[in-house]
Amino acid sequence: MSGVPSDSTAYLHSRFDPNMADLPRDLAEEVLSRLPVTSLRGARTSCKNWNNLFKDGSFLKKQSGQAKKKQRKEFQVVMMLEFRVCLMSVNLLNPSIDRIGKLVSLDDADRVDISKIFHCGGLFLCITKEINPSLVVWNPYLGQTRWIQPRNSYHRLDRYALGHDKYSLSHKVLRFVDNYDRMVKRRICEFEIYSLSSNSWNVVDVTPDWDVARHQRGVSLKGNTYWYAREKFPVLPQGTEISDIPDFLLCFDFTTERFAPRLPLPFHAFVGDTVTLSSVREKQLAVLCQKGATPGYTANIWITTKIEPNAVSWNHFFVVDLKPLTGFRFDHYSGSFFVDEKKKVAVFLDKDTNRQCPTRNIAYIIGKNGYFKQVDLGESTDEYCYPLVCSYVPSSVQIKQAAPQGNQNAP
């Protein structure tokens, strides 16, 4: 299937041979298995028989398994660049990061800007770039989406997370805000969780004694979401240093729908340090810490050897002095990264070295023994839109559409 534009549904329609609709099932499966993820939607709409095949649970599981095997070889990730979501193929040996195709299959996709993405087991929660944002859960492998209506309204200071129950695998969305809103001159504290299976919001009773900074992006692993957090600032006695405030790993358990006990980190970070999380092939959690003070160019990465809502252990993975390589610190609002544990390589996403007025999105590939490469990811048109990266694992999980209000039990 080489030569097929991976993001062109029109191409597939124009090249489709009607005789292919009568292919035996095993041969049809072989044809479809060779298509890139970004062409699957076009394949479904090209042929009624193929569309029915994509509704078969056993076929989807088989195809998802094959896609995961390819993922281990090709190393694909999802990136958000300039408010668009794209599937990228990463080559760390001959450094390159190539766009395979647009993954966004939302209604009116060309006019929908995405400001945030959250990944959990092949599904994504996308937040639109609007004053009053909208939420949509999306499976790019199946091309399915579901818009989520708020219980009352969303808030511009909202944080979100996507996870699932470990028993039923039912996906849920956590929405929370715990900030002083200068516009209304009062503190807003709201915690609620949405269940895709029941199409309902429920209030979660939380009295947080911790803070999660707005720029901190939660990372989902094994259905739960983790954040870097600090103890809520108390009224400090005179002379107390802010560095005395404890920091820790915070987990929301989507099975119990509760925040778990604080988990220890392998370091203590200060205000102004860059701390960010990433997942390692959906099995482990990685954390990056780069100091804001001297030595401000040294970045450390640790990877979990065990990670559960109530237990964690760490192994030091990587330390690098970025001063001779990049000459600047990663901004604490960015710092999105991923690692290849086997190749001992880390990939950092940020802007170019012009910190006052960046013009390019850049991936910095860093390995041992001074290995360093840069990959240009394209023009930066918005200095506040930092490139984000998520792991990607194709999923056969179906996103059922919500039943109409007043008919929640409808099939």
**18 or 366, which is more confident?**
366
Burial group, residue 201, by CB count within 10 angstroms (0-12, 13-18, 19+): middle
Question: Which pLDDT score is estimated for 2?
Answer: 34
Q: How much is the pLDDT for 173? A: 97
Mean pLDDT for 155-181 is 91
The two structure tokens encoding residue 173 = 């969305």
Distance, in Å, from the CA atom of 310 to the CA atom of 293, rounded to the nearest integer, reads 32
pLDDT in the model for residue 403 = 65
Residue 204 has pLDDT above 80, yes or no: yes
Alpha carbons 169 and 122: distance in angstroms, whole number? 13
Can you count the helices (H) and strands (E) in the chain?
A: 5, 25
Lowest mean per-residue pLDDT among 25-29, 155-159, 190-194, 258-262: 25-29
**pLDDT for position 163:** 96
Name, of 84-93, 97-106, 200-209, the range with top average pLDDT.
200-209
Q: Using alpha carbons, list the distances in angstroms from residue 396 to 61, 164, 255, 293.
A: 6, 15, 21, 46
| Predicted confidence (pLDDT) at residue 398 exceeds the cutoff of 90 | no
- What burial class does residue 347 get, using C-beta atoms within 10 Å of its C-beta: 0-12 exposed, 13-18 middle, 19+ buried? buried
At residue 370, the 3 state secondary structure works out as: coil
Closest CA to 308 of 338, 283, 287: 283
Residue 156 amino acid letter? R
**Averaged pLDDT for residues 40-61:** 66
Under the banding of pLDDT at 50, 70 and 90, the label for residue 6 is: very low
pLDDT over threshold 90, residue 35: no
Tell me what pLDDT residue 131 has. Answer: 78
Q: Report the pLDDT value the prediction gives residue 68, as an integer from 0 to 100.
A: 58
Residue range 31-43: average pLDDT? 62
What's the pLDDT band for 257 if we cut at 50, 70, 90?
very high
Per-residue pLDDT tens digits for 295-315? 668 889 999 999 999 999 999
Contacting residues for 266 by C-beta, under 8 A, at least 6 apart: 287, 302, 314, 316
Dihedral of CA 203/209/215/216: which sign? negative
pLDDT recorded at residue 1: 33
Say which residue, 380 or 33, is predicted with more confidence.
Answer: 380
Of the pLDDT bands very low, low, confident and very high (cuts 50, 70, 90), residue 27 is confident
CA distance 355 to 336: 16
Tokens of 189: 């504290």
Between 65-74, 93-102, 201-210, 336-345, the lowest mean confidence (pLDDT) is in 65-74
The confidence score (pLDDT) of residue 41 equals: 58
For residue 55, what pLDDT band results from cuts at 50, 70 and 90? low
Q: Above pLDDT 70, what percent of the chain?
A: 74
In this prediction the pTM is 0.82
Mean pLDDT of the chain: 81
